[in-house]
Amino acid sequence: MGGCLAKAGVEDGFPLIGGSLIVDPDGEIVIEARTEQDELLLHPCDLDATVFAKKTIFDFARHRRIEHYGLITSRTGAVPPPET
C-alpha cells in the first residue's frame, strides 16, 4: 500500500484541499479524501498483495547495480554533460 497525504483547511489565510489517498499495490486508488476538512482515511492492508512486486519489479537484490552509483555519489549539484 502506498499513500499520499496533504494538509486540509485554512492555513495562513489560504484554503487547502487535502487530497490524501491510499493506493493498493496495483496502483488503484482504494480510498481518497474528498473535502477541505480534516479526514481520517482507513483501509485494510493486505501485505500478501505486495509479494508479486517484491519478487519481480522491486527485487532490489537482483536489480540494484551499485557499481553505477559512483557518478551520483561522487559530486554535488548539476554538472552539464561535456560538449561533443
The rounded distance, in Å, linking the Cα atoms of 43 and 53 is: 20
Q: Is the dihedral of CA 65, 70, 73, 75 positive or negative?
A: negative
Residue 82 lies in a domain: no
Residue 79 lies in a domain: no
Total count of domains within the chain: 1
pTM over 0.85: no
Which of 52, 51, 54, 71 shows the shortest CA–CA distance to 62? 54
- Residue 69's domain comprises 2-73
The rounded distance, in Å, linking the Cα atoms of 24 and 2 is: 6
**pLDDT per position as a tens digit, 40-72:** 889 998 999 989 988 988 888 888 888 888 877
Residue 37 lies in a domain: yes
